[in-house]
């Protein structure tokens, strides 16, 4: 049996698209078997456990091999980007054991496909003589930036966070240094060192599969394919096979019934990924802005981050809306607004005819989901590579309007009001909507028979040498 082993990073935004990629392979090449190595840690990763359970039950052709959890002290890590690489590094012996047990069950591992964060497993797999591919869960622009990052690293001793300049890289628009990919901002941090290593390893793989499609990011894809992002060594082939979306979603169905009753294209949806949270002051500003705008809204609200350091990585408790939102807000907006606690079935929401716009943190899956349904966005980045994505989405792709932050990093009610109005009612929104509609059509084309993403999948499978 020819087996492809997938090794995703544990976060929702990483695991889902990789498992969906596994489903895509099985659909088009049913002779392969897929095994997914999963880490379901004790810290908050969104609703991954439920997603894995659901996929196991509905897709018996995909086997999940759970790696043992390694308890880590959250007090030692500044962020999720810090704790995840450590968990993955310490899991390497368990990964080796899992790969050996798959081989001994008479499977032939034809490819080991890993997430960027799982780079420590690359050397291990090479020693076992597997072909190793990356599955890159963000866009090709982000990939181009990371491939070029080792060059940028050599040209300066300063941290991007201290530069106040524009960063120029092949295939990319100029990126304000403060908007660079989050883990790259401070060159003295351990996560910077980890990402430098990951960036170098990316170029040593047999190929990089990207959750995007050719016509969405043509300049970055060309720069990578032409080898100019990694000037001194050959660049592995890239395979743009997306957009890959989760086909099922957890969360309140009540909000879908509410959406059914709203006029077409009238509702702005606000949601900030699997982990995005705001302070209670910021939640109140958003509420005020939504109320002043008069626009219909569907808003996913979570409890603010805990003050206790040891609780930072735990799932947030159910939000107390009466305490968190301005007094009387829910009552005053009940005819045109709906608040969901914690989690909405986002893919279904974005596909609903009543949705007219999306205020997003610019997580790549959220972006692709919006693109797949032609929904224009307001870009409100929070962490990871989301500021970088915002620049690309607003300056290059013109799929989103930017939210402007105040000097302290917060966003005022007036700005929220202005942007949601522009998005749903203004000419600015009309413009990004037109581009979004065109991009949606291009996405559909890429996924159709003979489309660029299907061709890329066939090339990838051919590179495995099994046929
Ligand atoms: O209420 C919710 C919230 C989220 N989602 C889903 O959860 C996923 C979230 O993914 P994404 O939008 O990519 O955000 P993150 O979870 O924040 O993803 C992480 O991983 C992404 C892929 O690498 C990066 O682009 C992000 O910056 C990083 O934070 C999407 O499929 C959403 O549809 C829901 O279904 N309901």
> What's the predicted TM-score (pTM) here?
0.96
Question: Which residue owns the Cα nearest ligand 1 atom 24?
Answer: 363
**What is the rounded distance in angstroms from the CA atom of residue 24 to the CA atom of residue 454?**
10
For residue 24, report the distance from its CA to the centre of ligand 1, in Å: 20
**What is the rounded distance in angstroms from the CA atom of residue 317 to the CA atom of residue 108?**
44
Q: What is the DSSP string of 278-291?
A: --HHHHHHHHHHHH
Alpha helices, H only, 253-385 = 254-260, 280-293, 321-324, 329-332, 346-350, 364-372
pLDDT at 310: 65
How many other C-beta atoms can be found within 10 angstroms of the C-beta atom of residue 298? Answer: 24
Identify the band that residue 139 occupies on the pLDDT scale cut at 50, 70 and 90. very high
Which tokens belong to 323? 């305490």
**What is the rounded distance in angstroms from the CA atom of residue 139 to the CA atom of residue 356?**
24
- Whether the CB-CB separation of 364 and 356 falls below 8 Å is answered with no
Mean pLDDT, rounded, for 227-252: 89
Mean pLDDT, rounded, for 234-245: 97
- Whether the CB-CB separation of 4 and 113 falls below 8 Å is answered with yes
Q: Determine whether the shortest distance from the Cβ of 119 to ligand 1 is under 6 A.
A: no
**What is the rounded distance in angstroms from the CA atom of residue 433 to the CA atom of residue 238?**
30
Counting DSSP H helices and E strands in the chain, the numbers are 17, 15
Q: Determine whether the shortest distance from the Cβ of 91 to ligand 1 is under 6 A.
A: no
Question: Which residue owns the Cα nearest ligand 1 atom 7?
Answer: 274
pLDDT at 467: 55
* Percent of the chain as helix, strand, coil, to the nearest 5: 45, 15, 40
Q: Determine whether the shortest distance from the Cβ of 211 to ligand 1 is under 6 A.
A: no
ipTM of the complex: 0.99
Strands of the sheet with 355-360, listed across from one edge: 337-341, 296-301, 267-271, 355-360, 377-379, 400-402
What are the strands, taking DSSP E only, across 212-266?
238-240
Least confident of 104-113, 203-212, 218-227, 361-370: 104-113
- Whether the CB-CB separation of 364 and 211 falls below 8 Å is answered with yes
pLDDT at 371: 98
Q: Determine whether the shortest distance from the Cβ of 249 to ligand 1 is under 6 A.
A: yes
pLDDT at 170: 98
Q: What is the DSSP string of 408-453?
A: TS---HHHHHHHHHHHHHSHHHHHHHHHHHHHHHHHHHHHSTTSHH
Ligand 1: residue of 247, 271, 366 to mutate (most ligand atoms within 8 A of CB) is: 366
Q: Determine whether the shortest distance from the Cβ of 372 to ligand 1 is under 6 A.
A: no
Angle at 77 between CA 76 and CA 82, to 5 degrees: 145
- Whether the CB-CB separation of 362 and 390 falls below 8 Å is answered with yes
- Could you give phi then psi for residue 83, rounded to 5 degrees? -75, -35
Q: Determine whether the shortest distance from the Cβ of 12 to ligand 1 is under 6 A.
A: yes
**What is the rounded distance in angstroms from the CA atom of residue 394 to the CA atom of residue 377?**
9
Q: Is residue 45 over pLDDT 80?
A: no
pLDDT tens digits, one per residue of 289-302: 999 999 999 999 99
Q: Determine whether the shortest distance from the Cβ of 288 to ligand 1 is under 6 A.
A: no
What are the strands, taking DSSP E only, across 353-393?
355-360, 377-379
Longest dimension (CA), the chain: 65
Q: Determine whether the shortest distance from the Cβ of 10 to ligand 1 is under 6 A.
A: no
* Choice between 283 and 48, residue whose per-residue pLDDT is larger: 283
- Whether the CB-CB separation of 400 and 378 falls below 8 Å is answered with yes
Identify the residue whose tokens are 């993955």: 88
pLDDT tens digits, one per residue of 401-427: 999 999 999 999 999 999 999 999 999
Q: At what angle do helices 413-425 and 280-293 cross, to 10 degrees?
A: 40
Question: Which residue owns the Cα nearest ligand 1 atom 20?
Answer: 13
Q: Determine whether the shortest distance from the Cβ of 363 to ligand 1 is under 6 A.
A: yes
Return the closest-CA partner of residue 67 out of 48, 85, 90, 44.
Answer: 90
Ligand 1: residue of 8, 10, 12, 18 to mutate (most ligand atoms within 8 A of CB) is: 12
pLDDT tens digits, one per residue of 297-352: 999 999 998 877 666 677 778 999 999 999 999 999 999 999 999 999 999 999 99
Average per-residue pLDDT in the chain? 93
Q: Determine whether the shortest distance from the Cβ of 80 to ligand 1 is under 6 A.
A: no
What is the three-class DSSP state of 363?
Answer: coil
Least confident of 27-41, 231-245, 437-451: 27-41
What is the three-class DSSP state of 257?
Answer: helix
What is the three-class DSSP state of 34?
Answer: strand
């Amino acid at each position: 049996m020819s087996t492809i082993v997938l090794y995703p990073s544990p976060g929702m935004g990483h695991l889902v698209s990789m498992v969906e990629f596994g489903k895509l392979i099985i659909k088009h090449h049913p002779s392969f078997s897929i095994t997914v190595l999963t880490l379901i840690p004790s810290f908050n990763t969104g609703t991954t456990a439920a997603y894995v359970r659901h996929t196991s039950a509905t897709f018996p052709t995909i086997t999940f091999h759970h790696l043992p959890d390694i308890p880590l002290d959250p007090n030692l890590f500044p962020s999720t980007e810090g704790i995840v690489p450590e968990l993955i590094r310490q899991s390497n012996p368990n990964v080796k054991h899992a790969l050996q047990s798959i081989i001994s069950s008479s499977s032939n591992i034809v490819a080991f496909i890993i997430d960027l964060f799982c780079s420590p497993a690359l050397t291990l797999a090479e020693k076992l003589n597997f072909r190793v591919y990356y599955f890159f869960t963000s866009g090709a622009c982000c990939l181009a930036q990371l491939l070029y990052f080792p060059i940028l690293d050599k040209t300066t001793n300063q941290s991007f966070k201290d530069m106040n300049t524009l960063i120029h890289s092949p295939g990319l628009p100029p990126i304000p240094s403060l908007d660079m990919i989050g883990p790259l901002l401070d060159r003295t941090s351990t996560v910077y060192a980890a990402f430098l290593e990951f960036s170098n390893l990316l170029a040593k793989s047999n190929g990089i599969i990207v959750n995007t499609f050719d016509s969405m990011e043509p300049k970055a894809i060309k720069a990578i394919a032409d080898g100019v992002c990694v000037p001194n060594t050959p660049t592995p082939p890239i395979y743009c096979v997306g957009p890959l979306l989760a086909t099922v979603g957890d969360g309140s169905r009540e909000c879908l019934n509410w959406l059914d009753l709203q006029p077409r294209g009238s509702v702005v949806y606000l949601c900030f990924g699997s982990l995005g949270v705001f302070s209670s002051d910021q939640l109140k500003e958003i509420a005020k802005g939504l109320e002043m705008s008069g626009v219909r809204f569907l808003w996913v609200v979570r409890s603010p981050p805990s003050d206790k350091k040891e609780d930072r990585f735990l799932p947030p408790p159910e939000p107390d809306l009466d305490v968190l939102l301005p007094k009387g807000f829910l009552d005053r907006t009940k005819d045109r607004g709906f608040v969901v606690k914690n989690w909405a079935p986002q893919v279904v929401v974005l596909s609903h005819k009543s949705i007219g716009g999306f205020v997003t943190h610019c997580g790549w899956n959220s972006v692709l989901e919006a693109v797949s349904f032609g929904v224009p966005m307001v870009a409100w980045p929070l962490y990871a590579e989301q500021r970088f994505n915002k620049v690309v989405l607003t300056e290059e792709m013109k799929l989103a309007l930017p939210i402007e932050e105040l000097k302290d990093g917060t966003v005022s009610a007036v700005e929220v009001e202005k942007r949601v109005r522009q998005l749903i009612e203004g000419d600015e929104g009309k413009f990004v909507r037109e581009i979004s509609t065109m991009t949606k059509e291009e996405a559909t084309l890429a996924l159709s028979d003979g489309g660029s993403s299907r061709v890329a999948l066939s090339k990838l499978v051919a590179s495995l040498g099994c046929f």
